[in-house]
Amino acid sequence: MSVHFSRAELVTLTAAAATTVLAAVAAHSGVGDVWAFVAAAAALSLLAATVGAATEHLGNRLGPGATGMLQAAFGNLPELLICLFSLKAGLVDVVRSAIVGAVLANSLLVLGLAIVVGGLKHGTQRFPSDSPRMVATLMMLAVSALTVPTLAHVLHTPAQAHEQALSATCALVLLVVFVSSIPFSLSANPAVCPPDPGAEVHERAWPIAQALVVLGAAGVAAALASEWFVDALLPATKSMGLSTGFTGLVIVAIAGNAVENVVGIRLAAQNKPDYAMSVILNSSLQVALALTPVLVLASFFIGPTPLTLVLPPLLVAVLGLTALVTMLVVVDGESIWLEGVALIGLYVMIAAAFFWG
Amino acid sequence: MSVHFSRAELVTLTAAAATTVLAAVAAHSGVGDVWAFVAAAAALSLLAATVGAATEHLGNRLGPGATGMLQAAFGNLPELLICLFSLKAGLVDVVRSAIVGAVLANSLLVLGLAIVVGGLKHGTQRFPSDSPRMVATLMMLAVSALTVPTLAHVLHTPAQAHEQALSATCALVLLVVFVSSIPFSLSANPAVCPPDPGAEVHERAWPIAQALVVLGAAGVAAALASEWFVDALLPATKSMGLSTGFTGLVIVAIAGNAVENVVGIRLAAQNKPDYAMSVILNSSLQVALALTPVLVLASFFIGPTPLTLVLPPLLVAVLGLTALVTMLVVVDGESIWLEGVALIGLYVMIAAAFFWG
Amino acid sequence: MSVHFSRAELVTLTAAAATTVLAAVAAHSGVGDVWAFVAAAAALSLLAATVGAATEHLGNRLGPGATGMLQAAFGNLPELLICLFSLKAGLVDVVRSAIVGAVLANSLLVLGLAIVVGGLKHGTQRFPSDSPRMVATLMMLAVSALTVPTLAHVLHTPAQAHEQALSATCALVLLVVFVSSIPFSLSANPAVCPPDPGAEVHERAWPIAQALVVLGAAGVAAALASEWFVDALLPATKSMGLSTGFTGLVIVAIAGNAVENVVGIRLAAQNKPDYAMSVILNSSLQVALALTPVLVLASFFIGPTPLTLVLPPLLVAVLGLTALVTMLVVVDGESIWLEGVALIGLYVMIAAAFFWG
């Protein structure tokens, strides 16, 4: 097997391996929770970048349709692993705020930064709005899937006694809609799933075997790093004086999405607002439409506490506001930097509401 | 008087008459509540089709403006009759959920099915979006009319003590807006009120006298069938193990709208998305903007309990979600089958929340 | 210094001076609270018109950019003064409802009247929708800024104990976004900030010194009239039998905005819907995005009770509905008189909900 790595890829791989070793040492050496937490977060980010590169090379070999599938499957791997280990540890509240936080971080903070950066560099940016509108519709559906069980619970309706069954029903509906949406990704429709823009850079795709080996190794390492991350999460944030809600909503969400975030903002800076919107909004959507129901259904088999879709009402409310404001910003196919400032402002206000524990 | 019936019309009329007789027998023979309920529902559906046909022929004789007026007046006759008899029987909760259910069934289930059927047969369908946008605006107003009294009640504001006066005020506002909207229907603007597409099929319009006789007879029969339907409603659904909320929201709503539902989906299948949108959305809107205030005002004169616009908060919340999602789907003048799947998914989630009694 | 006044300007100035004297007499003569209140309200309206004229002449001398700045600074002077004196008197509830009321009165009542008047005179009116869409986005942000602290309070989250800190954070975010939006007003982009349409009428601009003197005098008089207005507010409305909520929401809001209201409706009647939309929507937006945070931050220094962004939940809910419906109406760049009727209808329903004390 002949191995092909560009120099940049070698640097990423080496850094990912090194930080993983470092995180392993930090997790087991009693160096202190904060250090263990930071090391695990750093390892996760670099491993996510590695998984992303391997997915992309595999996609280049298998065609654009497969790329969409692979991106959907592996794009949110770090979040998935962190949430699964949190479920196993019974940290259901962390999972709930991490899910909402991932959507907020993508749809407000990252989208806002992308619009501000893109707007300051290139003025008003235009992009086709068909795909963002579809994403906004599906996102509103996903928000409804969280609103209905929460309201049924908060308002003490009879369905309250059937919280798990109602959550499972909503989760299944979301999965059906997600599966129905795959043909849109598989069709080479660039508005819905753009050909990965990074593809231009890597001219020599990895051989399939090499991509699979890297994917497997990075996946295993990411699983280990996720476990260390979750183990250190509560003690570390406690010693930093952060509330649990803020930890899940802000810290976990940003750590788990670090890579997509940078990619989306870089695309906007390169004046490719359509790709930027697609990467950022689809990341939010995959969390809401695929990751959430998978975690709900998985929680019935792993972990001490089942995960239901009954969220703290404030989380549901801010999610609804986020879906609305995002929709307003992207639906017109134009992004103006002031809209980005408004999105970031909303993120700051929401984060502030969860800052006090 | 020379009588003109096409063969299909004769079949419908005969079937309507036969099921009405059957429902009369079932209602008075002690054959069991479930059978009486099913027979009354079947009779109501066929009578609604008959009323629809007679209205259409009358409209063809009187011109397109009159068609709009007649459709507005008779289009929701079965719902109106069922709700009036329910009010008389004191089943205010059934009326409340039936009103919301009619909107949900139309705006989510039927619209979703129409989009899926149309999309699978004809790909992405395009239609002028002016009229849907107006309907979305008026629907949001109607939702507000339900939100304001409900919130005033739930939040224990001073207006709580004036629930009936506030509901009557809101009902009057809705009626004024509805009356203001009639000129739009009367103008032959096809975007707002399309020339009835079934008109092409029936080349020979009925004489006016014949149309009036059929309309009158079907109306009287529909009133009788509605009474049997309401009488059998609670015992039948109880023996089927359904909750009251689910009965009003799903069973009554679908039974009372069976005909429009089929018409809307058939129009989408015939690749006439503009007519399909118009029939389906206007049916929702007439329930919210005309039927609801009429029932509120009528309830002060008939029935033991006045109907106010204070709804269970979960109903108001899902109505708001429905109005938002529908707006998002129709506002761009394009329907993609995935949007239909999302609408149906939302309907399933809401129905599930009311399934447990 | 040579003084230039048109005859109309002289009439306004004289009337403003006369009513101010009248209001002063009424405030100190024991003529009765209702008369004192009415006189103060009349004086305020005429003084607001005078401030508006002086601002405009100053702007004409300094260029279109400065006009935008001056309008932003002085456009809501009466509201600002009334609210500051109310804060000083500890009437925090009046301030809260006056803020929401100003947004409702502009976005529903005045916009609705403008659309109805414009539509009846000129049929469907079209206008570029870029600026309204931006206003809708920023308005949704401002609504969020009120929703987040209110929900955090109502839902008894830990942030409840940090109500003032959270409100101050949200106020600062709003101010940052407001300051970021000034370049849009300063750029001569007519879609965002139209060249003041009244400018065509007054061909001879006032000398700068004259404009400054008038501005200063009218400002001082407005401050005095605001104090009398606030002093008479509660006794007068009490003797008229109005609830505090209704007083703030309807009476104060309409009295404080009388001038912009008339201007907006007149512009629509002159078939200038783009200017009408801009004046009306920007007035709402300035209240939400600039006046509100200024008052929150000011309240920490003046007055017995700090003003937080925790509002009665019904006010937040109707504000959200208003933002949504307004957005729907303006986002398509078309106004139809039926939409205006719907807006006015929503205003009536909301006012009714606060009518009973």
Q: Which residue has the tokens 């929507």?
A: C281
* Pair of tokens at residue A259: 């890579």
**pLDDT at position B56 over 60:** yes
Q: Which of B154, B157, B174, B329 to mutate to test the interface with C (most CBs of C within 10 A)?
A: B157
Please answer yes or no on whether C342 and B147 come within 8 Å at the CB atom. no
A231-266 pLDDT, tens digit per residue, is: 888 888 888 888 877 888 888 887 777 766 777 788
Contact partners for chain A, using 3 or more CB pairs closer than 8 A, are B, C
Please answer yes or no on whether B158 and C345 come within 8 Å at the CB atom. no
Q: Which of B129, B131, B134 to mutate to test the interface with C (most CBs of C within 10 A)?
A: B134
Compare CB distances from C341 to B130, B162, B177 and report the shortest one's residue: B177
Compare CB distances from B173 to C317, C324, C348 and report the shortest one's residue: C348
Paired with B125 in beta bridges are: B335
Please answer yes or no on whether C325 and B181 come within 8 Å at the CB atom. no
Distance from CA of B192 to the nearest CA of C (A): 12
The whole-number pLDDT of residue B345 equals: 93
Q: Where does residue A7 rank: exposed (0-12), middle (13-18), buried (19+ CB within 10 A)?
A: exposed
Distance from CA of A138 to the nearest CA of B (A): 7
User: Given pLDDT bands bounded at 50, 70 and 90, which one contains residue B158?
Assistant: confident
Nearest CA in chain B to A146: B349
CA angle centred on B121, ends B118 and B123, rounded to 5°: 75
What is the complex's ipTM, to 2 decimals? 0.84
**pLDDT at position B195 over 60:** no
Please answer yes or no on whether C345 and B133 come within 8 Å at the CB atom. no
Highest mean pLDDT among A309-313, B66-70, C87-91, C170-174 belongs to: C170-174
CA angle centred on A320, ends A315 and A325, rounded to 5°: 125
The whole-number pLDDT of residue A190 equals: 44
The whole-number pLDDT of residue C172 equals: 93
The whole-number pLDDT of residue C190 equals: 43
Residues in C whose CB is inside 8 Å of some CB of A read 130, 133-134, 136-138, 140-141, 144-145, 147-149, 151-152, 155, 157-159, 161-162, 165-166, 169-170, 173-174, 176-177, 180-181, 184, 324, 327
Distance from CA of C307 to the nearest CA of A (A): 17
Separation of alpha carbons A136 and A148, rounded Å: 18
Closest to B73 in 3D by CA, of B52, B101, B93? B52
Q: Where does residue C197 rank: exposed (0-12), middle (13-18), buried (19+ CB within 10 A)?
A: middle
Q: Which of B338, B348, B355 to mutate to test the interface with A (most CBs of A within 10 A)?
A: B338
User: Given pLDDT bands bounded at 50, 70 and 90, which one contains residue A80?
Assistant: confident
User: Given pLDDT bands bounded at 50, 70 and 90, which one contains residue A187?
Assistant: low
Higher pLDDT, B187 or B32: B32
CB A356 within 8 A of CB C162: yes
Q: Using only C-alpha atoms, what is the Rg of chain C? A: 20
The whole-number pLDDT of residue A185 equals: 64
Contact partners for chain C, using 3 or more CB pairs closer than 8 A, are A, B
Distance from CA of A266 to the nearest CA of C (A): 23
* Pair of tokens at residue B59: 């409209």
Nearest CA in chain B to C244: B158
Cβ-Cβ contacts under 8 Å, B181 against chain C? 338
Q: Which of A148, A289, A328 to mutate to test the interface with B (most CBs of B within 10 A)?
A: A148
Q: Where does residue B8 rank: exposed (0-12), middle (13-18), buried (19+ CB within 10 A)?
A: exposed
Please answer yes or no on whether C148 and A329 come within 8 Å at the CB atom. no
> What is the rounded (10 degree) CA torsion for A267, A270, A273, A274?
-70
The whole-number pLDDT of residue B232 equals: 86
B172-186 pLDDT, tens digit per residue, is: 999 999 988 887 766
Q: Taking residues A28-55, what's their average pLDDT?
A: 84
The pTM is what?
A: 0.86
Cβ-Cβ contacts under 8 Å, B130 against chain C? 332, 334
Q: Where does residue C320 rank: exposed (0-12), middle (13-18), buried (19+ CB within 10 A)?
A: buried
C192-219 pLDDT, tens digit per residue, is: 344 454 444 445 778 888 888 888 898 8
Compare CB distances from A158 to B243, B338, B350 and report the shortest one's residue: B243
All residue ranges of chain C with pLDDT < 50 are 188-195, 197-202
The whole-number pLDDT of residue B199 equals: 46
User: Given pLDDT bands bounded at 50, 70 and 90, which one contains residue A274?
Assistant: confident
Distance from CA of C133 to the nearest CA of A (A): 8
Q: Which residue has the tokens 């007026």?
A: B69
Biggest CA pair distance of chain B: 63
The whole-number pLDDT of residue B200 equals: 46
The whole-number pLDDT of residue A173 equals: 93
Separation of alpha carbons A85 and A183, rounded Å: 31
The whole-number pLDDT of residue B81 equals: 86
CB A177 within 8 A of CB B341: yes
Compare CB distances from A148 to B332, B342, B349 and report the shortest one's residue: B349
Please answer yes or no on whether A151 and B313 come within 8 Å at the CB atom. yes
Cα dihedral sign, C164-C166-C172-C177: negative
Please answer yes or no on whether B151 and C314 come within 8 Å at the CB atom. yes
Paired with C335 in beta bridges are: C125
User: Given pLDDT bands bounded at 50, 70 and 90, which one contains residue A189?
Assistant: very low
Compare CB distances from C328 to B130, B151, B327 and report the shortest one's residue: B327
Q: Taking residues B32-52, what's their average pLDDT?
A: 86
> What is the rounded (10 degree) CA torsion for C171, C176, C178, C182?
160
Distance from CA of A314 to the nearest CA of B (A): 15
Nearest CA in chain A to B328: A137
Paired with A125 in beta bridges are: A335
Cβ-Cβ contacts under 8 Å, A174 against chain B? 345
CB A76 within 8 A of CB A287: yes
Paired with A237 in beta bridges are: none
Tell me B196's DSSP state.
P
Q: Using only C-alpha atoms, what is the Rg of chain A? A: 20
CB C134 within 8 A of CB A338: yes
Output the average pLDDT for chain B: 82
Closest to B127 in 3D by CA, of B339, B341, B335? B335
The whole-number pLDDT of residue A203 equals: 52
Please answer yes or no on whether A328 and C137 come within 8 Å at the CB atom. yes
